[in-house]
């Protein structure tokens, strides 16, 4: 029981750190192209982390390497689509759409782990999903929410929705492999695979004209790279890989759904993105969803 609450508290702490990334990265993307930013973020993180796992990597077998590569691919897919999407949508909206992984996670848990979420988790997920809808609304009437669900969806929003699918797959697969293999080795492989994917993607995107290269080394870019590589990559990935196994993927998804709330607060101060009254109702729904899933677990 102690491990369960320690694990869930740690995951909530990582969610606070992730919440700050949306506004910080959104600001930096005015000076650096998305794939180039990811290249810096994950290359620095992988290089800094390598000395701590060099000995462990030599003892890995083929199964562990395969598991780490697959995990890294899902990790890269989530970050690539999310960062590219931030080019075209707001930080608050990106955080909301990313939060929809709470809906996909139990579905993939059933498919890949043959496990049904608990009744408390199911009720919590429904309440959290409702909260996310309210949180995303900028309107003043209930009909505004209905209208917004079917409109104003741009390419950035679709890319972020793909990110949510990647991340829900990542959460479920992490639940499988983190119980089998060395945690720190898995962390490094995720960072390394994502770094390689980002560098490769940057080269391909610039060569084909998909992404126009831009790079201005200013304080926004420097701060974003430092914050994301050290705190929102090395620290959070290490903590998630180590502690998520003490809870279920469905419960982890509910905990991570607090990310849009923290992101909205940071976006308000950094980007002046305001949260509506319905958004405040959504925050309350998300909090209640977590509490219900905890009490009924």
Give the bridge partners for 215, in sequence order: 32
Q: Is the pLDDT of residue 295 over 80?
A: no
Q: Which residues, other chains included, contact 62 with Cβ-Cβ below 8 Å and sequence gap of 6+? A: none
More confident residue, 282 or 104: 104
Q: Which residues lie below 8 Å from residue 130, measured CB to CB, with a gap of 6+?
A: 282, 285
Q: Who has greater pLDDT, 47 or 107?
A: 47
User: Mean per-residue pLDDT for 183-203?
Assistant: 95
95 or 198: which leads in pLDDT: 198
Mean pLDDT of the chain: 86
Which residues on neighbouring strands pair with residue 190, listed in sequence order?
none
Does residue 172 carry a pLDDT above 90? yes
Supply the DSSP symbol for 232: I
Give SS3 for 279. helix
pTM comes to 0.85
pLDDT class of 115 with cuts at 50, 70, 90? confident
For 44-154, where are the E strands, in sequence order? none
Q: How confident is the model at residue 122 (pLDDT cuts 50, 70, 90)?
A: confident
């Amino acid at each position: 029981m102690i491990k369960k609450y320690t694990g869930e508290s740690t995951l909530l702490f990582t969610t606070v750190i992730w919440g700050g990334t949306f506004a910080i990265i959104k600001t930096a993307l005015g000076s650096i192209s998305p794939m180039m930013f990811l290249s810096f973020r994950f290359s620095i993180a992988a290089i800094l982390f390598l000395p701590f796992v060099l000995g462990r990597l030599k003892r890995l077998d083929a199964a562990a390497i395969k598991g780490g590569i697959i995990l890294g691919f899902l990790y890269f897919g989530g970050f690539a689509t999310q960062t590219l999407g931030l080019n075209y949508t707001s930080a608050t909206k990106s955080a909301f759409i990313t939060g929809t992984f709470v809906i996909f996670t139990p579905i993939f848990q059933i498919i890949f782990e043959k496990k049904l979420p608990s009744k408390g988790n199911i009720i919590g997920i429904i309440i959290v999903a409702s909260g996310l809808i309210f949180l995303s609304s900028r309107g003043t009437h209930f009909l505004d929410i209905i209208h917004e669900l079917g409109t104003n969806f741009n390419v950035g929003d679709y890319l972020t929705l793909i990110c949510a699918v990647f991340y829900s797959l990542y959460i479920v697969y992490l639940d499988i492999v983190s119980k089998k293999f060395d945690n720190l080795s898995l962390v490094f492989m995720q960072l390394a695979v994502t770094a390689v994917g980002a560098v490769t993607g940057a080269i391909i995107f610039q060569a084909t004209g998909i992404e126009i290269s831009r790079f201005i080394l200013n304080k926004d870019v420097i701060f974003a790279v430092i914050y994301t590589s050290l705190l929102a990559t090395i620290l959070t990935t290490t903590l998630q890989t180590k502690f998520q196994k003490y809870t279920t993927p469905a419960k982890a998804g509910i905990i991570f759904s607090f990310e849009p709330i923290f992101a909205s607060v940071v976006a308000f101060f950094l980007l002046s993105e305001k949260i509506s009254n319905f958004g405040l109702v959504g925050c309350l729904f998300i909090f209640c969803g977590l509490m219900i899933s905890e009490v009924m677990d």
